[in-house]
Amino acid sequence: MSETARESEPRRLASDARDRVRFEEEALELSDQVYRVARRLVSTREEAEELMQETYTRAFRSWRSFTPGTNMRAWLLRILTNLNIDRGRRKQRAPVEQPLEEGDYYLYNKLEHTSRDGNLDEERVLERLSQDEVVGALSAVPHDFRDAIVLVDIGDFTYADAAQILDIPIGTVMSRLHRGRRILKRELADRVEEE
């Protein structure tokens, strides 16, 4: 019945090796995209580089557990976020301090208020923020919220993919994203004000 059972051992090994090489090539092709997300999940470039190497080491070792035809980028990021949590890189969650959060339109309203004629030129107003300030504002968002923002806004993942990667329900992704973006806007508003 099964043809594979009749295959000779060398043939099976050769086919296995081909699958593995194909897997490794595909994973490497995705590494730029995986890095872009990894870089914003941790604080420093060094941490991101270490995490990437650990992720690829584990991925190459356990390549058989990847189901061909499914989303490999999400699979790699699942490994990466697990490693990030396991290794205790995350600071202990602050037990009491609730991040400051305003409404969805907080930043818009703030900026509109400061524009002379009440007509907001978004691009020009945002250019008042430097790249470092924006990166700083994102880093100031607590981990749980930031992970969701980074996966969806920088990694372009759907809510469903982000839920799978973070191993949380989709409703939790939505609420973390929602609150996280509000916190981010609050952080950005603080930085615009300092100008």
Partner 1 sequence: MIEDLCDKCEELMQPYLDRELSEEERLEAEGHLAGCGHCARRYRFEETLRQFVRRCCEESMPPELKAKLAALRTPLS
Q: Does 138 bind partner 1 (CB under 8 A)?
A: yes
Shortest distance, position 6 Cβ to partner 1, whole Å: 24
Name the segment binding partner 1 (CB under 8 A); options: 4-12, 35-43, 80-88, 89-97. 35-43
The CA–CA distances, whole Å, from 190 to 120, 122, 184, 193 equal 18, 17, 10, 5
CA of residue 145 relative to chain centroid, distance: 11
Q: Does 128 bind partner 1 (CB under 8 A)?
A: no
Shortest distance, position 167 Cβ to partner 1, whole Å: 19
Contact in structure between 86 and 166 (CB atoms under 8 Å): no
Its sign, for the CA torsion 78, 42, 123, 105, is positive
Q: Does 181 bind partner 1 (CB under 8 A)?
A: yes
Instruction: Outline where 30-169 has alpha helix (H).
Output: 31-41, 45-61, 72-86, 106-114, 122-126, 131-139, 143-149, 159-166
Q: Does 9 bind partner 1 (CB under 8 A)?
A: no
**Contact set with partner 1 (CB under 8 A):** 17, 20-21, 24, 28, 31-32, 35-36, 39-40, 45, 49, 52-53, 56-57, 60, 103-105, 107-108, 111, 120, 122-123, 126, 129, 131, 134-135, 138, 152-154, 158-159, 174, 177-178, 181, 184-185, 188
